[in-house]
Amino acid sequence: METLWAPWRMAYITGPREGGCVLCEKAAGTDDPANLVLARGRWAYVLMNLYPYNNGHLLVAPYRHCDRLADLSPDELLDVMRWVQRSEVLLREELRPDGFNIGLNLGKVAGAGMEEHLHLHLVPRWNGDTNFMPVIGETKVMPEHLAATYAKLAPRFAASSREGGR
């Protein structure tokens, strides 16, 4: 296996963060389209990842600033998982991926970019969604703009919220 060295990433990984918690700021914001927020529940919310691994890459986070899964209340945990479940269904219906990566990174060494506020990632995957471009060209090809994906998903999430689920 080849190793791709990316030493410029270390400054970002270990560097200081300006401002407060991004997830808290987006949760407190009122302009959901500008913040890429798709849905709000009682204890958790869904937003698009501003730096996606793939089109449709979503985050589900509790409103409460918390860095440990064990610290979530039963209500928070249930709401987070319900939104993960609902998001998977809506992404399958709208974007038709072949599969998903769904995960939670806890702590800096586990790859958490925002380690102080836990969140789950839902990353739709398609057969053939990886190619030589990131390795050879140092470029990730995103076939659809964030705004276009948001425009597709927002009405689906709104309708699902009104219906109380799927």
Give the SS3 label for residue 122: strand
* Catalytic residue from among 65, 119, 121, 145: 119
d(C-alpha 159, C-alpha 35), whole Å: 19
Give the SS3 label for residue 60: strand
The label of the residue with tokens 């998977």 reads 88
- The contacts of residue 143 (CB under 8 Å, 6+ apart) are 55
Separation in Å, CA 70 to CA 53, 85, 141: 27, 20, 37
- Examine the residue annotation and report whether 119 is marked as an active-site residue of this protein: yes
Separation in Å, CA 71 to CA 59, 112, 119, 142: 19, 17, 13, 36
- Enzyme catalytic residues: 119
